[in-house]
Amino acid sequence: MNHVLQPFAVWSLRLSLAAAFASAVADRFGGWGLPGAANVAWGDWPHFIAYTGRLLWFLPGAWVNMFGWLATIAEAALALWLLAGIRLRVAAMASAALLLSFALTMTLALGIKAPLNYSVFTGVAAALALTCLIPAPRRVVEAANTASRPRERPGNHPL
């Protein structure tokens, strides 16, 4: 696939996914304002962990803070990778997986409306689209081409 808009599509997907991850991380540390302020989801770490506990109701309470940190570190790292162009296919696939895990836990804990309200499924689709738009590394393409060629068997050569 080589279209004139492909570079713009790749850049806009990278930027929008990175911005969404960075915005969520900033919100957990008061970057968008205090808890209860307009357009603030959490406003601080304790409110974020309380929300995480609602989503991860099936885990022991002691694990919730650890998973909150894991999600935060993953989102911050993916935002940086997407912006800097580091291992873009890996970053895009990891973004899709992380967002899908968010969508599924939100659906199980809060119902289908919650991930729809926050466009989490749209984020999954965007990350998958980004994965498809980024050309595969040459070694992967060469390995796929080699694997699809018929093998010659001894004694089956035409000469």
pTM: 0.83
Say if 89 falls within a structural domain: yes
Answer whether residue 159 shows pLDDT above 70: no
Mean pLDDT of the region 23-33? 97
Type of residue at 93: M
> Using the 8-state DSSP alphabet, how is residue 118 labeled?
T
The DSSP call for residue 134 is: S
Q: What is the C-alpha separation between 55 and 63, in angstroms, rounded?
A: 12
The verdict on residue 1 lying in a domain is no
CA 139 to CA 62: how far, in whole Å? 43
What residues have CB less than 8 Å from 90, skipping those under 6 apart?
A: 81
- How far apart CA 64 and CA 54 sit, in angstroms, is 9
pLDDT tens-digit series, residues 62-98:
999 999 999 999 999 999 999 999 999 999 999 999 9
Q: Is residue 156 part of a domain?
A: no
Confidence of residue 121 (pLDDT cuts 50, 70, 90): very high
Residue 137 lies in a domain: yes
Q: Is residue 98 part of a domain?
A: yes
The single-letter DSSP state of residue 2 is: -
Decide if 107 is inside a domain. Answer: yes
Count of domains observed in the chain? 1
Compute the mean pLDDT over every residue in the chain, rounded to the nearest whole number. 90
Give the pLDDT score at 3.
84
Residue 151: inside a domain, yes or no? no
Domain assignment present for 129:
yes
Q: What is the pLDDT of residue 140?
A: 53
Q: What is the span of the domain harbouring residue 70? A: 6-145
